[in-house]
Amino acid sequence: MSSVTGERISTGRIGDSISRPDGTPKVQGSYAFSSDLSAENCLWGATLRSPHPSARIMSIDISGAYRIAGVEAVITAADIPGSPTYGLISSDQPVFASDVVRYVGEPIAAVAADHPETCRRALAAIVVVYEVLEPLVDPERAIDGSHPDIHPDGNVIRRQRIVCGDPDIVGDVVVEDNYEIGMQDQAFLGLEAAMALPDDDGGGVSLYVATQWLHEDQKQIAACLGVPLSKVRLTLGGVGGAFGAREDISLQVHTCLLALRTGRPVRIHYSREESFLGHVHRHPVRIWMRHHATSDGRLVKVEARMVFDGGAYASTSSAVLINGVTHAQGPYRCENAVVDGYAVRTNNLPCGAMRGFGVVQACFAHEGQMDKLAAACGIDPVEIRLLNAMVTGDKLITGQIIENVAPVARCIRETAALPLPDEPVGGHDHDPMRLPGGAGRTADSSHIVRGIGFAVAIKNLMYSETFDDYSTARCRLSDGVVTLKFATSEVGQGFITIAGQIARSVLGFDNVVIDSIDTDIGSAGSTSASRQTWMSGGAVNAACIKVRDLLFAAVAVSHDVDPSSLTVDGGDIVDAAGVFRISALEAASGLSFDETVEYHHTPTEDLDENGQGNCHTAFAFVAHRAVVDVDPELGLVKVIQIATAQDVGRALNPLSVLGQIEGGIAQGLGLAVMEEIIMANGHVRNPSFTDYLLPTFLDMPSVIASLIEEPDPIAPLGAKGVGEPPTISSTPAIVAAIRDAIGKPLNRVPVRPTDIIGLSAFPSI
């Protein structure tokens, strides 16, 4: 139902910077987000949530809500026909809490009514009696066992060690420190929204929803509804950003339950505050790291301890943890390692997927360490990274060999070679907007110091640890029109555009139609882990090649040419000798083909108890250099420029890659200097955009990017995923630049003004 589906995109082959069909409507405000959906006779739904981070539910009285005119249904845990819990990896999260609540915002009941205001009054009329419990908010207490289990599955979601090489080896130079990463929110602009339409016979439901993975939602919803998969059909609603927050179930089951209960269409929209409570966040993490090196700066051993606060439910915490520990070495060669990682359960907000998925946290720590090591060895920060840069064929601390192209040194060199900003502090025209403090005119140029920081990252692509996250695509050719169908969530990353480019290049036709994105076809896997260009791109490519080969075979018969000599050249089909040439349109006249293909990546393995195993599918690399102006007295910063060279394999659409780079940097900048969900004893202090600050245009630096194109032979189109890397090392690069400017250690993100000045971040009382 998004306005991009069904539209014709009629120009652009692989490598062209064509713009996205959803771009203009989004800017003009005409794009249909899933919150714009409506149906005749539609009811509104709303969710009652826990005000306590930890409490026993003594009683729930819904009778008051039913007495309100216009209320059609009130449902609680007692009304769930199927599984009472759901979850991406383990089914540990209740659809509605019934005995205890484990975080602020946990759903307890839902209502359907004729108007949002009626819903609000109905929620207020539900009486829940709680016995408030002391929340578990310190992750260390989840590990040391000093707090009773807050869930039958225990307080430790997963522990994973990595022991590699000689665990006892000691380097000539040893540096260690503690790092802390705050809880970041995905903060997509399009809030959670869905509409469910019950089947006429009441046996099934159609759900229109903004999600990252239709089929995983379908599976979890069907289990909770207690119906077969075929009774739950999902269609992608217009998505306004995702970044990991739409991987887990939020309102899906509630909306379907209410629709089935009332026999009427039901829609639920979250408010911004509810959205902060209603989806998972980036894990806050505490990391200790000790790096050993030779006196000339070569890495000898990495030691680390990482504690990921998973919040109340498991979500993807165990996978995020694995990403964290397996990326502890960064993009550097290192033969020895001892890493210990925990993902724990607390009464804080549940955490799960967010762009960078565990690697953001690891990278902030290992890059801080590399700078410390550079200083301890007396080597330039760029040089020490070059010295240790990994290459294809290197063995990771998990024992896995890097088989991808690994242009780490090139990323570093090209980033370092990009021009520094030519403007002085404050700009050539002394525009106060260019100084830290921006519109607030807090500083003059004389108050400002400038710093430069560098950081490099490695990021796994696709899912890990034996997960077969395949993707399905169907290609139909009829009357010279190519119709592509897939269930790939277009969440703003631009897959629809890329899919059309692939089809046009492979088949030679201009007219490509994208069919509705729904569960009428097999799974595409999740739009996450930088995987859709590779996986769904691979599936679309393979389906188009199948159709092309059938077309070649038909052409071969009708024109008496060797099918194996045929290729597509622009809009024509030609033979190798260059003698035969026919336009693809003419060749396909009167023919139609219909092929569906599943694309699977190479299988991966689980990690053993020492963290050894080929657990990841593929890797990409990136480097960032940040130039930051800092007002040390007020603790304010302005990021002036980010330079980056990114290993993209092959840029299928350079404009789209640049969009990911700029957006990823904005998000990395947010984590570096302002974005944090502040929690106090399990309560959220800033669930609004008034107080959860996102970077604005005035905070965004100029970005200069160099795309490193070394097509990866392992990737179906030579193209690596590009979505996550920009977010990963931009954060440590910015923090390194602030450190460089003020000459102080800063081991926590977001960096707060008080951290820069050297004041306490907390009240002294």
Partner 1 sequence: MSVIVPNSLSDALAALADNPDALVLAGGTDAMVEVNSGHRKPSHVIAINRVSELRSWTYDPVAATVHIGSGVTYAELMESPVADLLPALAEASRTVGSPQIRHAGTLGGNLGTCSPAGDGLPVVSALDGIVHLASVAGERSLSVHEFMVGVKRTARQPGELITGVTLPVLTGWQGYSKVGVRNAMVIALASTCLATDLEGRNVRLALGSVGPTILRCAEAEAFAATAVSFEARSVSAHDARRFGELAAAASRPINDHRATAEYRRHAIGVLASRLLRRAFPNE
Interface positions with partner 1 (CB under 8 A): 120, 433, 436-444, 447, 633-636, 638, 673-674, 678, 680, 685-686, 690-691, 693, 695-699, 752-754, 757, 759-765
- CB of 519 vs partner 1, minimal distance in Å: 35
Q: Are 331 and 456 in contact (CB under 8 A)?
A: yes
Q: Are 178 and 364 in contact (CB under 8 A)?
A: no
Write out the E strands in 123-248.
127-132, 156-164, 173-181, 193-198, 205-209, 232-236
* Residue written as token pair 């909770």: 224
Q: How far apart are CA 757 and CA 447, in angstroms?
A: 13
Q: Are 474 and 503 in contact (CB under 8 A)?
A: no
- CB of 498 vs partner 1, minimal distance in Å: 33
Identity of the residue, 439 or 577, whose beta carbon is nearer to partner 1 in the bound complex: 439
DSSP output for 357-378? TTHHHHHHHHHHHHHHHHHHHT
Within 10 angstroms of residue 283's Cβ, the number of other Cβ atoms is 33
Identity of the residue, 505 or 730, whose beta carbon is nearer to partner 1 in the bound complex: 730
**Residue 461: partners with Cβ closer than 8 Å, 6 or more residues away:** 529, 530, 531, 534, 617, 618, 619, 620, 720, 721
Identity of the residue, 39 or 700, whose beta carbon is nearer to partner 1 in the bound complex: 700
Identity of the residue, 366 or 638, whose beta carbon is nearer to partner 1 in the bound complex: 638
- CB of 641 vs partner 1, minimal distance in Å: 15
**Residue 238: partners with Cβ closer than 8 Å, 6 or more residues away:** 1, 2, 3, 4, 22, 31, 32, 33, 34, 36, 190, 210
- CB of 764 vs partner 1, minimal distance in Å: 7
Identity of the residue, 577 or 680, whose beta carbon is nearer to partner 1 in the bound complex: 680
- CB of 697 vs partner 1, minimal distance in Å: 7
- CB of 513 vs partner 1, minimal distance in Å: 37
Name the CA dihedral angle for 207, 212, 215, 220, rounded to a multiple of 10 degrees. -70
- CB of 178 vs partner 1, minimal distance in Å: 22
Identity of the residue, 350 or 436, whose beta carbon is nearer to partner 1 in the bound complex: 436
Identity of the residue, 331 or 635, whose beta carbon is nearer to partner 1 in the bound complex: 635
- What region, left, alpha or beta, does residue 554 occupy, with left being phi > 0 and alpha being psi -120 to 50 degrees? alpha
Identity of the residue, 439 or 579, whose beta carbon is nearer to partner 1 in the bound complex: 439
- CB of 433 vs partner 1, minimal distance in Å: 8
Q: How far apart are CA 732 and CA 247, in angstroms?
A: 26
Q: Residue 412 carries which side chain, given as an amino acid letter?
A: I
**Six-digit token string for 682:** 């399990």
SS3 assignment, position 723: coil
Identity of the residue, 466 or 688, whose beta carbon is nearer to partner 1 in the bound complex: 688
